Structure 1
Amino acid sequence: MSIDPFRPAFRLFFFAGSFYAVVAIFLWLLPMQEVLRYSRSDHSISWHIHEMLYGFVAAIITGYLLTTVSRAGSNKYFVCFLLLAWFSGRLVMNCFYYSWPAFALFTLDSLFPLIIASLVIKDLIIGAKKEYLLLIPILFLFPAVNILFHFGKTENIKVSALLFLNHMIILMITIIGGRLIYSLTLSWQRSVKSQYLPESKRTIEMGVIVVTVITAFIDVFFPGSVWLYLSALIASLFHFLRMWGWRTFKVLSSFSLLIVHLAYAWIVVGYFILAFSYYVDWINHSSAMHVLNIGTIATMILVVMTRLSIRTKNNFIKITSNITFILIFFATILRLSASLLVESYKVLLLLSGALWMMAFVTFLISYSLSIYDISVFKKNRTN
């Protein structure tokens, strides 16, 4: 009995997104070793951010939403078309970014985010799933920001637009990931008959969303201002209070729970660094964003992909899967250290990138093995 690669819908997109997470960083780091020579103009920073958001993150979000929200994920022909649309965007952005006109690039690159945003927003409105309604403006931003990226006159406009989308993806992780952490923590605490059950206070939940959005706006429109310092510091405090309510200090004995709590803890650290990034010489804005992107977004993506796709009793697969989280944790540490230790910046940056790639390679290995494990199990059960 074979495994259908199109069902569930997340299967292809988790593979594609994880594979591209390796490819995009590999291509980004190659010029630093002068292995690959190409014109690294001022566009390269925005290219890097764009491909991590639209190539890596968007693919994973699509797989998740097609499985949990949209019914279109049941149509394998449509899923295949979406994957081709995603691939065409990656092809032109990697091979023709410096040679094709902006409109041609925009046409092929925008097909995927436009279809996904339209489809999922429609399904969210029809399905009236209240817990996901806050995602509608975030999904709308994907095609909207892509317009600014491709037609923005300056690099600053492109980076600023992508930065705002980046912050909104952190908000998405805050909403979806926060609910997941609370649910997992509550279930585990009850299973061990703990008296320290997690709490979720509405004022804190709403406060987290509000201060995260405000910080995003200020970071884009008033960078380096005292308002960014205040908003980022308050955001860090609210996220910390949310974690305190979850009783994070009581889940240290569970590796799987510790990982998701650590992923969220990087939000606290990231916003704290962001608050001081324009006032302290030894940290910068890039440090804060990489802590948020690697520590929180990438780790939570790996958590969600693992929980949805890797269900096996095979100890080797479980160990390989756990190694993935250890690698991404140290990738975050090294990337933060690269900004702190300027004299070792290049070496630490390359090491962080190597650990990032290894993390997603180990995920792909454990994911592939788990699918094979499931297919063997089903075959044996039918015989």
Structure 2
Amino acid sequence: MNAPDTADHLKNENTKTRKPVPRGLKMTGPVLFSYGFRPFFLGAGIWAVLAMLLWILSLTLGMPLGGSYDALNWHAHEMLFGFGSAVLAGFLLTAVPNWTGSLPVSGTPLIILAGFWLAGRLAFLYPDLIHFYAAIALESLFLPLLLVICAREIIAGKQWKNLKVLIGVTILTIANLIFHYGVIFDGDVAFASRIAVSAYVLLIMIIGGRIVPSFTRNWLNRNQKTRFPVPFNRYDAICIIIGAFALLSWIFIPETMVTLLLACLAAVMHIARLIRWRGWETAPEKLLVILHIAYAFIPAGFIAIALSAADMLNAYSTLHILTVGAVAMMMLAVMGRATRGHTGNALTASPLTILSYTCLIASALLRPFAEIILNYFHTILALSALLWIAAFALFLIEYAPMLLQDRRQRAE
């Protein structure tokens, strides 16, 4: 049998009799728009490389990136709401049909949705060109459209338990508007950035907490292992709740004792949660190991939040531990796995994939030190950025052909 892919593990318990959605379904037009993961994973990979290159050029050559929006704000926005939202869209548009048993969004509707995402990226390169406020309005349309599409499908399919995933998308949509508001009125986007990062972390705690142990269990079972990850239970629910409260505290009162204590508690609980998944036993399969490593940056991020609350760590270092370590790494891992599963390729990490993971891990570990070792700020920043670019360039080299070609037929 073909190994199950990412979306298969997010089916609800009451879908046992529902017919599976065809993988790589192609309706009309180019294969790129036959399934949500194809244009958005490809777009995310390309934008991860281009946006970082443009950011480096802005720092080194003074290129007027972002116009009146300011280059620093542009960089933060495009990582959180440009790159990140594309990965999220690709994942949800692939997962939702598996939850509901409906056909995936494809063809013209998918082209239109992807067009809104692309238009937002182009408009924000220099928003003053079409008018500052018009560019913001255009860019702000994509996430609400994605939210409406996913909500409609989940509600129509009566998958009420999966509505909680849309909480994260809703928070992200609101965070984008607050980010724009901050740029327009006072230039402070730290609050909005914390909201956006927290939305992604919440989604990883919820969705990652389902797919990581599920993938791990399946792999261990295929390899005749007898000890499996602990199934989702009350402890996992408590972990998510404590983590959510810690994130809320970090958003609104980041430099307080309350945040420090909640973050410490969340870190300990999520370390224990990760241990319960027995990730060390998956060492031979790097496609699985990277999921555990990415999730490990969640408790690392909570430790960073606690240190920041105690004034022992720079706020930017904290932010990058979560964004590069937890969010981007989980996104890279899921994009690769989902692409392989939905295009008929083997669910195993190639040497190129492993090198991509290695580059991003190195970038995640190195980036926080830019604000800690200030004498080497620019050197560390440049090296971390180059490692980021290398990670996603390697992803494109290997996975772009898969995303642009019809699904391979494998023997059952």
- CA 1:97/1:230 → structure 2, altered by over 3 Å: closer, same or farther? farther
2:336 maps to amino acid: T
Q: 1:210 aligns with which of 222, 231, 241?
A: 241
1:350 aligns with 2:382: yes
* Distance across 2 between alignment mates of 1:60 and 1:39: 22
| Cα distance, 1:299 vs structure 2 | 1.4
Counterpart of 1:322 in structure 2 is 354
Displacement of 1:121 after TM fit? 1.5
**Matching residue within 151, 159, 162 for 2:181:** 151
Mapping of 1:269-288 within 5 angstroms? 269-281=300-312, 283-288=313-318
AA aligned opposite 1:312: N
Distance in 1 between the 2:346 and 2:252 partners? Answer: 50
**Residues 196 and 250 of structure 1 are in contact (CA less than 8 Å); yes or no, is this contact kept in structure 2?**
no
Q: Which has the larger displacement, 91-100 or 37-46?
A: 37-46
Q: Is the 8 A contact 1:204 1:241 kept in 2?
A: no
In the TM superposition, what whole-angstrom CA distance separates every residue of 1:168-212 from its partner, at most 9, and x where no partner exists? 111101211221110111112222332321113523211222122
Is the 8 Å Cα contact of residues 317 and 368 (structure 2) preserved in structure 1?
yes
1:20 matches 2:47: yes
What do residues 317-350 of structure 1 show as CA deviations (whole Å, max 9, x unaligned)?
Answer: 9221221111111111111332332221211111
1:146 Cα deviation after fit: 2.8
Partner of 1:364: 396
- 1:133 corresponds in structure 2 to 163
- CA apart distance, 1:353: 0.7
Asked if structure 2 preserves the Cα contact closer than 8 Å seen for 1:168 and 1:213, the reply is no
1:333 is aligned to 365
**2:216 match:** 185
Q: Between Structure 1 and Structure 2, how many residues are aligned? A: 375
- 1:79-90 alignment to 2 at 5 Å? 79-90=110-121
Q: Of residues 265, 280, 285 in structure 2, which corresponds to 1:249?
A: 280
- Does residue 8 of the first structure (1) align with residue 8 of the second (2)? no
Q: Check conservation: 1:73, 1:79, Cα contact below 8 A.
A: no
Q: CA deviation at 1:373?
A: 7.6
Structure-2 separation of matches of 1:133 and 1:9: 19
Q: Given the alignment, which residue of 249, 260, 265 partners 1:229?
A: 260
- The whole-number CA distance in structure 1 between the counterparts of 2:70 and 2:161 is 37
| Equivalent residues of 1:312, 1:374 under 8 A apart | no
Q: Distance in 2 between matches of 1:305 and 1:356?
A: 15
- SS of 2:345's partner is coil
Tell me, in whole angstroms, the C-alpha distance in 2 between the residues paired with 1:123 and 1:372: 26
CA contact (8 A) 2:40 2:89 kept: yes
Corresponding residue number in structure 1 for 2:345: 312
Once the two structures are superposed, residues 239-289 of structure 1 have per-residue CA deviations (whole angstroms, 9 ceiling, x without a partner) of 1111121123333343222211111111111111110114254x2222122
CA shift digits 1:24-55 (9 cap, x unpaired): 22222223223525688895443322211221
Q: Which residue of 1 aligns with 2:139?
A: 109
If the length of structure 2 is used for normalisation, what is the TM-score?
0.83
| 1:46 paired to 2:73 | yes
Is the aligned partner of 1:160 residue 2:187?
no
1:17 is aligned with what amino acid? Answer: A
**Using a 3 Å threshold, how does the CA distance of structure 1 residues 237 and 370 change in structure 2: closer, same or farther?**
same
| Cα separation, 2, equivalents of 1:318 and 1:35 | 38
The answer to which structure, 1 or 2, has the higher relative contact order (CA under 8 A, 6+ apart) is 2
Equivalent in the alignment of 2:8: none
Return closer, same or farther for 1:371/1:105 CA change in 2, 3 Å cut-off. Answer: closer
Larger deviation: 42-51 or 272-281?
A: 42-51
Query: Matches of 1:72 and 1:96 in 2, distance apart?
Result: 36
TM-fit CA distance, 1:79: 0.6
* TM-score, normalising length: structure 1: 0.89
2:61 partner letter: E
Structure 2 CA distance for aligned equivalents of residues 72 and 163 of structure 1: 35
Confirm whether residue 262 of structure 1 aligns to residue 293 of structure 2.
yes
Single out whichever of 228-237 and 91-100 deviates more from structure 2. Answer: 91-100
* Alpha-carbon distance in 1 for matches of 2:268, 2:311: 19
Q: Secondary structure of 1:155's match?
A: coil
% identical equivalent positions: 27
The answer to whether structure 1 residue 219 and structure 2 residue 256 are counterparts is no
- Residues 92 and 212 of structure 1: CA distance in aligned 2, closer, same or farther (over 3 Å): same
Q: State the SS of the aligned residue for 2:140.
A: helix
Deviation at 1:297, TM superposition (A): 1.2
Which ranges of structure 1 fall in alignment gaps of 5 or more residues?
none
Aligned residue for 1:8, secondary structure, equals: coil
1:80–1:42 CA distance, 2 compared to 1 (3 A): closer
CA distance in 1, matches of 2:368, 2:172: 27
Other-structure match for 1:29: 56
CA distance in 2, matches of 1:39, 1:188: 45
2:224 alignment partner, SS class = coil
1:93 to 118, 124, 129: 124
What letter corresponds to residue 81 of structure 2 in structure 1?
A: Y
Q: 1:250 to 1:112 in 2, by over 3 A?
A: same
